[in-house]
Amino acid sequence: MVYRRSPLMEERLANNRDRILLATRKLVAEGGFREAQIAAVAALAGMSTGMIYRYFPSKAELFVEVLGDAVGAEIEILREIAEGPGSAGERLHAALTCFVRRALRGPNLAYAFITEPVDPEVDTARIRYRKKFGDVFKAILIDGIEKGEFPDQDVDASAACIVGAFTEALVGPIGPTTRNTHDQQRLAESIRSFCLRAVGGASS
Amino acid sequence: MVYRRSPLMEERLANNRDRILLATRKLVAEGGFREAQIAAVAALAGMSTGMIYRYFPSKAELFVEVLGDAVGAEIEILREIAEGPGSAGERLHAALTCFVRRALRGPNLAYAFITEPVDPEVDTARIRYRKKFGDVFKAILIDGIEKGEFPDQDVDASAACIVGAFTEALVGPIGPTTRNTHDQQRLAESIRSFCLRAVGGASS
Amino acid sequence: MVYRRSPLMEERLANNRDRILLATRKLVAEGGFREAQIAAVAALAGMSTGMIYRYFPSKAELFVEVLGDAVGAEIEILREIAEGPGSAGERLHAALTCFVRRALRGPNLAYAFITEPVDPEVDTARIRYRKKFGDVFKAILIDGIEKGEFPDQDVDASAACIVGAFTEALVGPIGPTTRNTHDQQRLAESIRSFCLRAVGGASS
Amino acid sequence: MVYRRSPLMEERLANNRDRILLATRKLVAEGGFREAQIAAVAALAGMSTGMIYRYFPSKAELFVEVLGDAVGAEIEILREIAEGPGSAGERLHAALTCFVRRALRGPNLAYAFITEPVDPEVDTARIRYRKKFGDVFKAILIDGIEKGEFPDQDVDASAACIVGAFTEALVGPIGPTTRNTHDQQRLAESIRSFCLRAVGGASS
DNA sequence: CATGAATGAGAATTCATTCAT
DNA sequence: TATGAATGAATTCTCATTCAT
C-alpha cells in the first residue's frame, strides 16, 4: 500500500503544530523561556518530544516562532489602529493604550519579549521583532509629521524610544508585583502621556 | 617580627580581582552573559577556575558585581550632573547626552544591561540597578516639577520611560551595527529631544 | 487505537532501574559509597549518566534506596521470624542466626550500613534504618519480658545494643578477612550467645 | 651564620603540632571530619595551610593521628581500670560506665569514631582502633573466665560485641538529640546491664 | 621557617536531540 | 507515524596539595 498524506493528516499536523505553539506560549508565559524545555512542551502538548522535531528543527526555531506569533498578533492589532481613522495623535493614543493594556493582561509574555532568551538565534529574532513594533509607531509618526501634527524628528529614534519606554515601564510591575486594575489604568495613562508629549502631540 | 601583608601583595590581590572583573566584562560585552563561563573567564584572566572562587563565591555574584560596577560608574556620573547647577531641563539634557555617549563608546555593556541573564539572582540585581538609574532621572523630574519647569506627571513612570527609551534606542545600533561618530551624534540628539519633549521641557 | 505501554516496555523500565540499583549495590559493596560515583554506576549498569537521573532525582536518593532495599529485605525476613511461633528466646536465637549468616554471605553491605555516607541526607536515612532494625528486636524483647522469659530491661537500649553488637562483630571479618564456613558458624554462634545472655535468655 | 635548630624551635614545632591536632579535634567534634578541611584547621590553629604539611604528610595521616590520640586517651583510662583492682565483673562495670559517660560528654568525637571518614586510609585506622578498644575488654573477659567469674566464651566476639553494643546505643542520642543528665545516667546503666548480662557477670 | 595564592583534577547534574522500535 | 528511552557534552564548584617568595 502506497502511503499518502491525507487531508486529515494535514489537519492533524496543523493541530499538532498549534498545540506545540500553544503549549510553549503557555510555559513561557508562566515561567519564561527557561521553563519551556522541550520535554515540558511535549508533555503539555500531549505528545512525545520526538514529535516536536517533526514540526520544528530546533528549540531555538520554536521559540522564534512563538515570539513571532505573539508579536505578530499584537502588531496586527496595532497596525489596524495605525492605519485606521483619526488624527495621528489619536491613533498613537489608541495604540499605546491598547498595547499597555494587553501587555499587562498577559504579563510574562511581555517579559519574555524584553528578555534575552540566552539563545543567540532567538535573541536576534527578538531584536528584529522589537524593530517591527517600532515600525508601526514609526508609520504613525511619519504620518503625523507630514500632516504637521508632530514636529519634525528622527522617527527611527522616536519609534525605538516609544517601544523602550513602555517596555521598561512595564518591566517593573511585571516582575514581582501584580497590580490591581486601578493602578494599571494609571500606569497606562502615564506611559501614554509621556509618549504623546515626547512626540510632540497633545500632552493630554 | 610580625608578618605583614605587603602592599605588593595587596596589589596582586586587587589585580586578580580586577583581572577577573575585566575578563568577565570583556566576555559579557562580546557575547553576553552566556559567553562568560567560569572556564572562559579564568582563561582570559590567565588563572585557574579555582582562583575565581577565591574572589567570588559564585558565578552569579560575579555577574552581579560586574553589572553593579558598570551601573555604579554611570550612576555616579549622572548623579553629579543631576545634583549640579542649571535648570532641571538643562540637567536632564546633560544627563541624557552623557549617558548615550558613554553607552555608545563602551558598547554592549548596555546590551547586557537590558538582557535577562538567565540566573534569577542576577536578574533581581539587574532590575534593582535599572531602578537606580531611574531614580536619578526621577530626582531631576521632581525638581523640575517643583520649580514649575515641567508639568505635573507620574515621575515613576516617566523615569522608567526615559531609561527604557534610551536603552531600547541604543540596543539596535549597539547590537550588530557599528556607527560612525556622526551617526552617534545624531542618535544622541534624537533620544535627548524625545525625552525632553516627553517630560514637557523645551525640546531644544 | 490508543497507544498503550507494552509489558515489554515496563520490563525494560524496571530492568534499568534494577540495573542501576544492582550496579550501585555492587560498587558500594566493593568500595563503599565513595566508589559508587554516578559515572561508575552508569558504566557498570551499561548506560549513560543521564539515564541514572531518569530513575533517581539525585545520587543521595539512589543511595537511600539502595540502603533501604538492603535493609528492607533483611527486616522482612527478621520480622517473619519475630512474629512467628516459638518462645521469645527461640525467636531471638533464630533471628540472630539468620542475620549473621546473611550478612556473612553478602559481604560489605553490612559494612556500608555501619558507615557514615558523607551525604547528610543518606546519613539520616541510615540512622532511620538502623532504628528499624532495632525495632524488630525490641518487639521480641517486649514479648519476652511480658511472658516472663526475659528480665525487665530498657528495651530501646537493649535493641540498639544487639544491633550494634552484631554489626561490630561482623565488621572485622567482613572488612579485610574472608573466613571459611567453619569460622562463620563459630562467629554466628558466639554473637548469638552473647546477645542471648545479654537479654537474659538461656545462653544456649 | 650557621642555622641551628634551637630547643625553642623544637618547642615551637611541638606546639604547632599540638595546635594542629587540637584544632582538628575541635573541628571534627563540631562537625565531623567533613568540616575539618585543611584550610579550616590552619585557620583555627592560627597558621598557614602549608604549615600543616610540615607536620603531617597528608590530611589522611592527620586524621589518623587525631583518631589515634582520641582513642589512645580513652584506652589509657580504660586500661587503668582493666588492670586495676577488683573482680572482673567490677572492672567491666567500671570500664563501661566510664566509657559511656565520656562518650556522652564529647559526643561528636565518638560519632566520628563510629563513622566512615570516606578516606580509605583513615577508615583502615578506624577499624584498627576499634579493635584496640575491644582488646581492653577482651583482657578483662579472659581474666574473668580464668577466675571462673564468667562462663567460657569467644572472647574476640564478645569484645567486639561490647564495643558495637555501646557505640550503636550511643549513636542514637549522639546524632540529633541531646539528652539531659538523667537520661544519660539511665542510658549508661542500660548499656552496662546489657553487657554485663551478656558476658555472664551479675546482671545487676 | 612560613605563607597563602594558585592549581586543576574531579564529581554531580541538565537537557536538547536522536533513533530503534 | 509516533514514541520516549537513551545519550553525553557541557558547566559549576570544591579542596587537598604545592611552591615561589
Element (H, E) at A137: helix A120-146
User: pLDDT category, C176, cuts 50, 70, 90?
Assistant: very low
User: pLDDT category, A171, cuts 50, 70, 90?
Assistant: low
**Residue A108 Cβ under 7 A from any strand F atom:** no
Q: Provide, rounded to the nearest whole percent, the portion of chain B with pLDDT above 70.
A: 80
Distance A73 CA to F5 C1' (A): 38
In this prediction, residue C1 carries a pLDDT of 37
**Residue B3 Cβ under 7 A from any strand E atom:** yes
Which bases along strand E come within 7 Å of a protein CB atom? Answer: 1-20
Mean of pLDDT over chain C: 81
- Residue keyed to cell 553488637: C165
User: Does residue A113 carry a pLDDT above 80?
Assistant: no
For B190, which of A118, A151, A153 is closest by C-beta distance?
Answer: A153
Condensed to tens digits (0 to 9), the pLDDT of residues A68-99 reads 888 888 888 889 999 999 999 999 999 988 88
**Residue D22 Cβ under 7 A from any strand F atom:** no
**Residue A54 Cβ under 7 A from any strand F atom:** yes
**Residue B12 Cβ under 7 A from any strand E atom:** yes
Distance in angstroms (rounded) separating the CA atoms of residues B117 and C4: 42
Condensed to tens digits (0 to 9), the pLDDT of residues B43-73 reads 999 999 999 999 999 999 999 999 888 888 8
- Note whether C49 contacts D: Cβ–Cβ < 8 A: no
**Residue A118 Cβ under 7 A from any strand E atom:** no
In this prediction, residue D7 carries a pLDDT of 45
User: Does residue B16 carry a pLDDT above 70?
Assistant: yes
In this prediction, residue A184 carries a pLDDT of 74
User: pLDDT category, B1, cuts 50, 70, 90?
Assistant: very low
User: Does residue D27 carry a pLDDT above 60?
Assistant: yes
In this prediction, residue C3 carries a pLDDT of 38
Q: What does CATH list as the number for A1-57?
A: 1.10.10.60
For A190, which of B118, B154, B195 is closest by C-beta distance?
Answer: B154
User: pLDDT category, C10, cuts 50, 70, 90?
Assistant: very low
In this prediction, residue D75 carries a pLDDT of 87
Sorted by sequence, the CB contacts under 8 Å of residue A90 that are 6+ apart come out as none
What's the average model confidence in pLDDT over A9-17?
Answer: 67
Condensed to tens digits (0 to 9), the pLDDT of residues C97-147 reads 888 888 777 655 565 566 666 677 888 888 888 888 889 999 999 999 999
Distance A62 CA to F1 C1' (A): 21
- Of A123, A106, A75, the C-alpha closest to A174 is A106
Give me the C residues in range 20-79 that sit within 7 A (CB) of strand E: 37-39, 49-50, 53, 57-60
User: Does residue B176 carry a pLDDT above 70?
Assistant: no
Burial D53-63 (b: 16+ CB within 10 A, else e): eebbeebbebb
In this prediction, residue D108 carries a pLDDT of 59
- Note whether A96 contacts B: Cβ–Cβ < 8 A: no
Distance in angstroms (rounded) separating the CA atoms of residues A33 and A115: 9
Q: pTM for the complete prediction? A: 0.82
User: Does residue D22 carry a pLDDT above 50?
Assistant: yes
In this prediction, residue C59 carries a pLDDT of 94
User: Does residue A40 carry a pLDDT above 90?
Assistant: yes
**Residue B58 Cβ under 7 A from any strand F atom:** yes
Query: When comparing pLDDT for D112 and D29, which is higher?
Result: D29
Backbone angles phi, psi at D138, to 5 degrees: -60, -40
Distance A36 CA to E20 C1' (A): 27
Q: Do A165 and B169 make contact, defined as CB atoms within 8 angstroms?
A: no
Mean of pLDDT over chain D: 81
For D198, which of C151, C187, C197 is closest by C-beta distance?
Answer: C197
Mean of pLDDT over chain A: 81
Q: Report the residue of C197, C203, C204 to disrupt the D interface, i.e. the one with the largest count of D CBs within 10 Å.
A: C197
The whole-angstrom distance between B95's CA and the closest CA on chain A is 16
Query: When comparing pLDDT for D176 and B79, which is higher?
Result: B79
Radius of gyration in angstroms for the set of CA atoms belonging to chain A, rounded to a whole number: 20
User: Does residue A106 carry a pLDDT above 70?
Assistant: no
User: pLDDT category, D167, cuts 50, 70, 90?
Assistant: confident
The chain D residue lying nearest C33, using CA atoms, is: D118
User: Does residue B143 carry a pLDDT above 90?
Assistant: yes
Lowest mean pLDDT among A20-29, C53-62, D191-200: D191-200
Lowest mean pLDDT among B63-67, D12-16, D157-161: D12-16
For D203, which of C168, C187, C200 is closest by C-beta distance?
Answer: C200
- Of C6, C27, C24, C4, the C-alpha closest to C16 is C24
**Residue A176 Cβ under 7 A from any strand E atom:** no
Residues of B in contact with A162 (CB under 8 A): 165
The whole-angstrom distance between A149's CA and the closest CA on chain B is 14
- Note whether A43 contacts B: Cβ–Cβ < 8 A: no
Give me the B residues in range 171-200 that sit within 7 A (CB) of strand E: none
Beta-carbon neighbour count of residue B1 at 10 Å? 3
User: pLDDT category, A33, cuts 50, 70, 90?
Assistant: confident
Q: Do C168 and D164 make contact, defined as CB atoms within 8 angstroms?
A: yes
In this prediction, residue D48 carries a pLDDT of 94
User: Does residue A7 carry a pLDDT above 70?
Assistant: no
- Note whether A103 contacts B: Cβ–Cβ < 8 A: no
User: Does residue A108 carry a pLDDT above 70?
Assistant: no
Residue spans per domain, chain B:
1-57, 59-198
Sorted by sequence, the CB contacts under 8 Å of residue D150 that are 6+ apart come out as D88, D89, D141, D144, D199, D200, D201
- Note whether A202 contacts B: Cβ–Cβ < 8 A: no
Query: When comparing pLDDT for C117 and C18, which is higher?
Result: C18
Q: Report the nearest residue to nucleotide F4, CA vs C1'.
A: A48
What's the average model confidence in pLDDT over B85-96?
Answer: 91
In this prediction, residue B166 carries a pLDDT of 80
User: pLDDT category, D140, cuts 50, 70, 90?
Assistant: very high
**Residue B9 Cβ under 7 A from any strand F atom:** no
Beta-carbon neighbour count of residue D139 at 10 Å? 18
User: Does residue D50 carry a pLDDT above 50?
Assistant: yes
Lowest mean pLDDT among B131-145, B163-177, D13-27: B163-177
**What are the CA-CA distances from residue B32 to residues B71, B123, B164 (Å)?**
16, 14, 19
Distance in angstroms (rounded) separating the CA atoms of residues C189 and C181: 12
Q: What does CATH list as the number for B59-198?
A: 1.10.357.10
**Residue A58 Cβ under 7 A from any strand E atom:** yes
Q: Between chain A and chain D, are at least 3 CB pairs below 8 A?
A: no
- Residue C35 DSSP one-character state: G
In this prediction, residue C178 carries a pLDDT of 46
List % helix, strand, coil for chain C (3-state, nearest 5).
Answer: 75, 0, 25
Q: Do D169 and C157 make contact, defined as CB atoms within 8 angstroms?
A: yes
Q: Do C166 and D161 make contact, defined as CB atoms within 8 angstroms?
A: yes
Q: Provide, rounded to the nearest whole percent, the portion of chain A with pLDDT above 90.
A: 32
In this prediction, residue B117 carries a pLDDT of 61
- Of B143, B32, B21, the C-alpha closest to B82 is B143
User: Does residue A201 carry a pLDDT above 80?
Assistant: no
Interface A-B: count of C-beta contacts within 8 A: 131
Distance C118 CA to E12 C1' (A): 15
Q: Do D127 and C172 make contact, defined as CB atoms within 8 angstroms?
A: yes
Q: What does the block give as the cell for D195?
A: 553487657
Burial D9-29 (b: 16+ CB within 10 A, else e): eeeeeeebbebbbebbbbbbb
Residues of B in contact with A193 (CB under 8 A): 153-154
Distance in angstroms (rounded) separating the CA atoms of residues D107 and A43: 51
Q: Report the residue of A92, A109, A116, A191 to disrupt the B interface, i.e. the one with the largest count of B CBs within 10 Å.
A: A116
Lowest mean pLDDT among B121-130, C177-186, D99-108: C177-186
Residues of C in contact with D160 (CB under 8 A): 165, 168-169, 171-172
